[in-house]
């Protein structure tokens, strides 16, 4: 069942070229990434830290990928795990990059978020537990899953298809 408990999951998207034969989607063979707060602060910019580690949100229409149409794979900016592909990215005109599904089952995890007086589903990187954004359903976009993964650009790093495998 889906995270919204009312629809079956869509089949996982095929791994992009260059993915490991075992299906791993990150640099550490799907091993959890564990770092201290001090390590994260040292490795990330202040804005990356605020969004990825403190569940912040970048302002709409300000991130580098909200209107990008480059073919490639979107990795977690904190740990490099492959999370989404351009095949599932769509124009939602909401001001953040939007995807209708993650790259594969298990690359992201979900948390029920009741902050700010709203009922939402938070999306986190399954490998390093970094905040990515939120997922919404039933908004009428006509995507195969009827879901919109609304992801902060600062949480992602786009690896263009031309650069894959190098």
Mark out the alpha helices in 7-158 (DSSP H runs). 37-43, 46-52
Q: What per-residue confidence (pLDDT) applies to 30?
A: 56
> What is the pLDDT of the chain when averaged over all its residues?
83
pLDDT tier at 117 (50, 70, 90 boundaries)? Answer: confident
Q: What per-residue confidence (pLDDT) applies to 9?
A: 41
98-124 per-residue burial string, b: 16 or more CB within 10 A, e: under 16: bbbbbbbeebbeeeeeeeeeeebbbbb
Is the whole model's pTM more than 0.75, yes or no? yes
User: Which residues carry out catalysis?
Assistant: 150
* Weakest mean pLDDT among 12-16, 38-42, 73-77, 158-162: 12-16
Q: What per-residue confidence (pLDDT) applies to 41?
A: 95
Q: What per-residue confidence (pLDDT) applies to 8?
A: 38
Judged against a pLDDT cut of 70, whether residue 140 lies above it is answered with: yes
Q: Give me the sheet containing 82-85, strands edge to edge.
A: 82-85, 72-76, 156-160
């Amino acid at each position: 069942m889906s995270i919204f408990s009312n629809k079956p999951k869509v089949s996982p998207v095929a791994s992009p070229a260059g993915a490991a034969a075992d299906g791993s989607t990150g640099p550490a063979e799907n091993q959890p990434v564990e770092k201290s707060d001090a390590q994260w602060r040292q490795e990330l910019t202040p804005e990356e830290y605020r969004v990825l580690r403190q569940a912040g949100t970048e302002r709409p229409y300000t991130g580098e990928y909200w209107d990008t149409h480059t073919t490639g794979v979107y990795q977690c900016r904190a740990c490099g795990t492959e999370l989404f592909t351009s095949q599932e990215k769509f124009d939602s005109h909401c001001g953040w990059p939007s995807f209708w599904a993650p790259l594969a089952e298990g690359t992201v995890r979900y948390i029920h978020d009741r902050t700010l007086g709203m009922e939402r589903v938070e999306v986190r990187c399954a490998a390093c537990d970094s905040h990515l954004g939120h997922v919404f359903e039933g908004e009428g976009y006509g995507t195969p899953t009827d879901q919109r993964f609304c992801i902060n650009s600062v949480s992602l790093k786009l690896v263009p298809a031309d650069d894959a495998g190098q």
